[in-house]
Amino acid sequence: MPIRPTVAALRVAVFLAAAMAFATQLVRAQAPTAPAAPAAPAPAAAEADEPVPTFAADFLRDTRVLATGREVWQQQCRHCHGNSAYPGKAPKLSPGGLDPVFIFDRVTYGFKGMPPWRHVFTREQRMAVVAYIKSDGFSP
Ligand code: HEC
């Protein structure tokens, strides 16, 4: 008879020990994963930059390219940068001093008050408007 409580106590002790071990394992298991969780900012993963284009002389002179560029300019650039734009809306472009790759970069990714045009115009259209801005026929 006196042995019964001892067995019961042993069972409780074994149960408690098991519970403790389990809890410790839980803590251990969570410890390494806790810092890993915030290290997955998937939505913040920015879109990769586009490859930087090269503007060959032939491309910059191509009449079809220039016609496309003129269209883009009139459709979406002129009302901010053009001569008839509301003063102060955007700087007048002085294309002589601007490198084609620089213009492409600004047009693609935007700059301060200017939105990016990456998802508005195709790469071809953005390259074309650069060619147009750099051309002798550019008429802002
Ligand atoms: C909503 C008005 C707006 C439109 C539309 C717009 N831009 Fe802009 N753009 C700006 C503003 C504002 C800046 C200057 C930001 C600053 O310097 O503070 C700018 C800057 C630029 C620059 C850089 C100039 C420099 O010297 O740093 C280029 C190049 C340019 N825009 C080209 C274009 C082209 C090409 C288009 C058409 C696809 C276009 N922009 C459409 C407002 C506009």
What does the DSSP assignment read for 30-95? HHHHHHHTTT--GGG-PPPPPPPP---HHHHH-HHHHHHHHHHIIIIIHHHHSTTSPTTSSPPP-G
What is the distance in A from the centroid of ligand 1 to the CA of 111? 7
Which pLDDT score is estimated for 29? 53
Q: Is 111 in the pocket of ligand 1 (CB under 6 A)?
A: yes
Q: Is 103 in the pocket of ligand 1 (CB under 6 A)?
A: yes
Q: Is 112 in the pocket of ligand 1 (CB under 6 A)?
A: yes
What is the distance in A from the centroid of ligand 1 to the CA of 93? 8
Q: Which of 73, 80, 104 to mutate to test the pocket of ligand 1 (most atoms within 8 A of CB)?
A: 80
Confidence band for 17, pLDDT divided at 50, 70 and 90: low
pLDDT digits (tens, 9 = 90+) for 61-103: 999 999 999 999 999 999 999 998 988 889 999 888 999 999 9
